[in-house]
Structure 1
Amino acid sequence: MERIRLGLVLHPTRDVSPVVDTIAAWAARHDAALAVRAEDRHRVPEPVRPVPEEELVARSDVLVTIGGDGTMLGALRMAVGDPKPVLGVHLGKLGFLVEVEPPELPAALDRLLTRQYTVEAHSCLVCDVCGDDVVAFNDIALVRQPGQGFVSATLAVDGQQYGYYRCDSLVVCTPTGSTAYSYAAGGPLISPATRAVVVTPSAPMSGISRSVVFSPEETVRLELRPGSGPVAVEVDGLVIRNQSTSGAVDIRYRQDAGLVVRLDPLRYQERSQLKLSLLDLPLLPEQLRELLPESLRRQLGRRELPPPR
């Protein structure tokens, strides 16, 4: 069996040492190679090799993210030029992408070693932001600066002008990102099996006031209008440009840009549906049980959960 190489991608601020120690102990037993970005060398034990960020993907067979959805999105963006399977270990709050809880990690790593997993392909948005190329796996958003006016932008599709927006923010998302900022702005939930680009205004004042769904073959262009308030540009929640009052964003859809490890696709799908229920839909007591860690579910056994109040 070939030696597996794991690249660790760490949450920038959370204490990840218990999970890293678990991975390091497993790697020692299975002669696995571990690497981490050089800037994180002080957060990992000695056997984990620090490498430049631009080399981490090339030196890894699988990327293991320790954090929440944001950490996994960062790993997907890092690997967009050379997609590698990404396994997410959950240290966040309400993750829709990550699948593995820390107690499940040793068994999950065993599955990686024997290749007993499936790979879920994810699309991304390839964005030209005033000449800078960036990618977004969830969304790209134009967001107003509080107290300094509104986002005022025109919409064009494949070069054809369609209208304008005047709103608090403009969110363009993938189907995966439809459960994030776009959903909070009132956008629709899009099946991950769908290929689409969704543009949603938040708190529209005038102009286009509803979500618009485009095909993956169309190029969307948002251009700030004269008189627009200063705008921040966010990619997957990270601010990449601030206080912009002019310029344009061109957005194209790219299929199969990222690969996510799935160990139990059916269970993952059920848990994601239940997390959506926490946001918007009534939850049955027996469904709530499935959100609990496996160890607690075993303790509960066949005992009934109390009815929702």
Structure 2
Amino acid sequence: MDRIRLGLVLHPTRDVTPVVDTIAAWAARHDATLAVRAKDRHRVPESVRVVPDDQLAGRSDVLVSIGGDGTMLSALRMAVNDPKPVLGVHLGKLGFLLEVEPPELPAALDRLRTGDYTVEVHSCLACDVCGDDVVAFNDIVLIRRPGQGFVNATLAVDGQQYGYYRCDALVVSTPTGSTAYSYAAGGPLISPATGAVVVTPSAPMSGISRSVVLSPGEQVRLELRPGSGPVAVEVDGLVIREDSTSGAVDISYRHDAGLVVRLDPRRYQERSQLKLSLLDLPLLPEQLRELLPEGLRRQLGRRELPPLR
């Protein structure tokens, strides 16, 4: 690749200045161009080009996501109509999708420039929410307003009624999203190499009480029943609709919708397995410290371990 164009996708609230400065210094040395969305112009050096929010992916060869999994998902959604490789730089707490820590960034950028990386292909859910088209790389969730009833909805697959749910929340996830809300609700872990759609109720009161795993070719429809409590709709953790008591969500699976940069796939998988195992430990952060080797405990000193989520 000759002159690489990098688009920066920034966490909305965290201080990303040290990471952006590292990228800007690297870009100056390698004649690379940097771009950022107009809404983030005040957070980057003057050398970074500013482009309209909806044109960042189209004007970039690679997107660099700086933040946590939420920022990474935002970058993937941004490029869904013209998938570009997305490199995730970890500033979050857990970061299942992210591979690169800030100290590793210059070496990672060198490999981007020479094309020395692989891409991990991700699917998404293409959703029609009461007539509005949205995409979700992790999950789409119908969730009740506390104290005002339950999510009361029917499930249909390819037009055939399966049954109904009465629950706190109803989570429809991709294989990538199976480690997120669906997993917390008791759903199964699905290999990213598997094409599947998982429908999982959280705290079911009646109706379907277990996860339903569907093939990627099946069309899913969730429709609120009369008497349902007010329901919010979340897409990858972002609320897109509030207080709905009627309407339907139609969901289909889209292959090859996102590309994630992988520099060391084996090490990434090992890290992900470790993070999943930590989620199942019923321990507080200070208790986790006691599981570390003595030398590492001394190195950490009195620094507080961050929460897992």
**TM-score (structure 1 length as normaliser):** 0.91
Report the alpha carbon displacement of residue 163 of structure 1 after superposing the two structures with TM: 0.4
Instruction: Give the distance between the partners of 2:54 and 2:242, measured in 1 at CA.
Output: 25
User: Residues 185-204 of structure 1 correspond to what in structure 2 (within 5 A)?
Assistant: 185-204=185-204
Does the alignment pair 1:248 with 2:248?
yes
User: After superposition, where does 1:1-309 map in structure 2 within 5 Å?
Assistant: 2-280=2-280
Which residue identity is paired with 1:224?
L
Counterpart of 1:97 in 2: which secondary structure? coil
- 3-state secondary structure, aligned to 2:77: helix
Counterpart in 2 of 1:306? none
Change (3 A) 1:57 1:6: same
Q: Distance in 1 between matches of 2:89 and 2:74?
A: 14
Return the alpha-carbon distance in structure 1 between the equivalents of residues 12 and 164 of structure 2.
37
Unaligned regions of 5+ residues in structure 2, if any?
A: 301-309
Cα distance in 1, alignment partners of residues 264 and 162 from structure 2: 43
Q: TM-score, normalised by structure 2?
A: 0.91
Deviations 1:174-221 (A, max 9, x none): 000000000111101111111000000000000000000000000000
CA drift of 1:282 comes to 9.8
Question: How far did residue 31 of structure 1 move?
Answer: 0.4
Is the partner of 1:165 in helix, strand or coil? Answer: strand
In structure 2, distance between residues paired with 1:87 and 1:18: 17
Alignment coverage as a number of residue pairs: 290
Aligned with 1:73: secondary structure? helix
Residue type of the alignment partner of 2:115: R
Distance apart, 1:53 and its partner CA: 1.1
How high is the sequence identity, in percent, across the aligned residues?
88
Taking the aligned partners of 2:146 and 2:25, their CA distance within structure 1 comes to 48
Determine the structure 2 residue equivalent to 1:307.
none
Q: Secondary structure at the match of 1:89?
A: strand
**In structure 1, C-alpha distance between the alignment counterparts of 2:241 and 2:181, rounded to whole Å:** 18
Deviations 1:234-259 (A, max 9, x none): 00000000000000000000111000
Distance 1:70 1:192 in 2: 18
CA deviations 1:245-300 (Å, max 9, x no partner) are 000000000111000000000000000000011012699xxxx99xx9xxx79x89
CA distance in 1, matches of 2:58, 2:184: 36
How far does residue 170 in structure 1 lie from its aligned partner after superposition? 0.1
User: Which consecutive segments of 4 or more residues in structure 1 shift more than 2 A?
Assistant: none
Q: How far apart, CA to CA, are the structure 2 residues paired with 1:264 and 1:106?
A: 15
**Cα-Cα RMSD:** 1.8
- CA distance, structure 2, for counterparts of residue 39 and residue 201 of structure 1: 37
Q: Tell me the SS of whatever aligns to 1:124.
A: strand
5+ residue gaps, structure 1: 301-309
Q: Secondary structure at the match of 1:109?
A: helix
- Alpha-carbon separation, structure 2, partners of 1:170 and 1:17: 38
